[in-house]
Structure 1
Amino acid sequence: MNAIERALGILLLLTGGQRSAVDLARRFDVSVRTIYRDVDRLMALGIPVEAERGAEGGYRLARDYIQPPVALTRGETAALLVAQALVRGLRATPLVAELDSAEAKLLASLPRAARELFSQGERIVGIERPPADIFHTEPEIAGPGDMQRAVDGFMHGVLASRRVRITHENPYRARIVDYDIEPHGILFDRDRWYLFGHDVDLGSDRLLRADRVREIEVSGMAFRPRAALSVQSQIGRAWLSRAMRRWEQEGEVSVLRVTAAQAALLRRDWYYRHALFRAPEGERVEVRIPNVDPAVILPLVRWLGPGAELVAPQDLRARLAGELASMRSLYPSTDEI
């Protein structure tokens, strides 16, 4: 029996419960030192073998490594395969390697005809990506992150209840920051994943875009999940309202005066609805947006049209006035025709 066959045999025995090194050495007719090397080989492959010291000790698999068998009907199996095909249409699929192996097991349980159908899930399930948002353009980042790697790493942290170390880039502030996060969940919004957890250094909750993660590493530091901390608290983009209030304190703000109808239109937008709307003065509403990028603010004011006034900052106001005057020159009045 070679080393690979022996390691597989050890793994099969451990699925039945704890075994001592002496017992395993006797079972395979090798030395205890050889068993130590075989176990190290299994652990190097990612198999969670735990060691218990003492007279009653031995090796065992982590208690949650192999789940108990679950009996599924054909319809339940098909429903899971449809859900998997749907998830694969996203820009990143959490735990994609584990999903591949689970899918193979589910397919193997189906009759041949159904297996052939669901093995090509993209033929029967499609997902449409959100269109580009031309009124809220986003800056490019210097080194685009690997969203798949970030989501997988974060989820492994969630499953193991271990902290993750993240290097994250913020293109709006042109800075790269390291975080030590207790991971609690992930959120999918507008074709991208967000990572939600507790910032250990600041003692506050944090939501980070996965595609802006430069590096991610699951640390050896375990933590106890906070029962009161749920990703559901971020639904409705509550995080964006909090972020806008923080951005107002950290940087410059664009101030608009708009009509009540235009304010109502902005409140329907996924992003601008979280801006600060001041109580109306007569027919006008003041809107404060924590962004002074001309490529963002000027198209927005032009899109809102007559009735929308850019009050501040003054350099943007002057630039908009010049652009509108240039446009006006292309449309002579009826008296001038």
Structure 2
Amino acid sequence: MSKVKRLTNVWTYINDMQKFTIKELSEEFNLSAKTIQRYLKELNKMGLPIQAEQGRNGGYRVLNNSYIPPIIFTEKEVMTILFALKSLQGYKDKSMEPEVNSIMRKVSYERKSNIKIGIENIKRYIDFITNDGDFKSSDVTEFFKASSESLILNIKYKRGNQILEKSICPIGIYSNKGTWFSPVYDYKSDKIILIRINKIIEIKKVGKSKGVHISLKEWLDTVYNNLYGTMSATKKIGETIYLNVLLTKEGVSKIKDSFYDLDIESNEDGSGIINTLIKIEEVDWYVSILFLIGSNAKVIEPKFMNKLLYDKANELRYFYEENMV
């Protein structure tokens, strides 16, 4: 076994133990006391905070066992990490900024290689713009921990001009268009409801849930199936569907005045028809365009797209209700 592998094994072991003695490590790894002491000095230089404890039962302990052993990444993996971290920097909330910058420095240290060029290109040519409103990463973190540990929370949150209180157990978190949401089990109504995390005013932990609630994936699958109907069971990514939309004269004009390049069949009276095949993954893009056209566009096929437009209108209504004075 190589020295690097032995050092990694020792790091992992003492990181889990947190408190240990030279004798324990010697017996565990079948190494001499001098070798173990040398390894501990090297690990300390590598960044693992190890402190000697005085006294009859003295030994060593790791000051912070949240450090993980060194991990070797491929160039593609490093680029993926950099890309993901770049997306985090798009959020207005800066509470994660020190950690993100620290990781960026660690994975993009100075060296002469092709990956260095790739890293600089990500920094220079890629950016993410989010509409995150009053997003607070601390609240998102609290909901994530509560979800993973099945914790019961008492929360106060804003709904319109009201401040409401609820006893809940989050089942997960997800982000949609820069806004963080959490499906939670509401103990009062005895059902799963959806909470906008940016509306949270106060969070208090009150205990651990004994019941087993639906998982986030199961909840999302249920919502997706209800939203898309039988289409979700029959269509896969890459498959095509038939799109048929009737446009008024004003609708045709709006599309032509925009930068959207849509294939429209024009009628003599100025109205038009969109009659084409689109990929299933393009549905949301077309919904966004048709939503902007409003009542000047009538979707004939697929029927489920009308449901998506209806829900989008409800989201806008909810937004204005939440911000009414």
TM-score if structure 1 supplies the norm length?
Answer: 0.45
Q: Which has the higher helix share?
A: 2
